[in-house]
Structure 1
């Protein structure tokens, strides 16, 4: 079955979005103590409060999102379970950030809005891959 042109366009955007997430993740890991010392006090506290499993969940979210986007571009059904894992990573990351590390207070409303956008995109990609399977665009 022919895949609509918009599907490929969205898949490319999804890949770019998730690659930016991968870059942000690696940039975050590469912050030196000197870099951290330059951050506002609240962000320093947020970094200090981060839990290892929440960082691992972030990795699962961004790398799963990138891999799932590649699956969409290749028109493969396996994109769906990869996006589901990525979404799970987003949810676990958000729990670590906002519930356990008090990220709402430390990071502020901009971080909440950004994470809400990330969550919405993650949900959207799961729904898109489900639609792709249902419509026969993914095999």
Structure 2
């Protein structure tokens, strides 16, 4: 049985905001991945320190999977496909592991952003699962 309910405006607002959030993550990843030493030298000293931290390769891989997987999940959410839920799980697990690593090993000036990222990932997993249950995704 493939019954589709019409999503509310709230569904689309959440999906679009989630896409924007994840695209900002993609942007942050691309900046980190392609920032040259010359570009880093032009930044304020406190920001330079953030870019000069050597992270393990698995951390960078988790970062990429989290943000690109999350952006793709948002596209599937907007297309009303169940695959969004599974991609949000992959993205969420990667983001939670990545942010957990930061919280435990790196001296952060603020823990607000890592905690906010974790909460947002959990919300998107929950929301996409709820959307399946409500018949909004097929």
TM-score with structure 1 setting the length: 0.86
Give 3-state SS (helix, strand or coil) of 2:53's partner. helix
Superposed displacement of residue 93, structure 1: 0.8
* Aligned equivalent of 2:79, options 74, 79, 103: 74
Q: Contact 2:63/2:95 (CA < 8 Å) preserved in 1?
A: yes
Alignment RMSD = 1.8
Whether 1:121 and 2:125 are equivalent positions in the alignment is: no
- Which structure has the highest helix share of the two? 1
- Deviations 1:28-64 (Å, cap 9, x if unpaired)? 1111112334453685377433111001101111011
Segments of 5+ residues of structure 2 without an aligned counterpart are none
Report how many aligned residue pairs link the two structures: 133
TM-score with structure 2 setting the length: 0.87
Superposed displacement of residue 2, structure 1: 1.7
Match of 1:19 in 2: 23
Q: Which runs of 4+ in 1 moved over 4 A?
A: none
Q: Contact 2:32/2:51 (CA < 8 Å) preserved in 1?
A: no
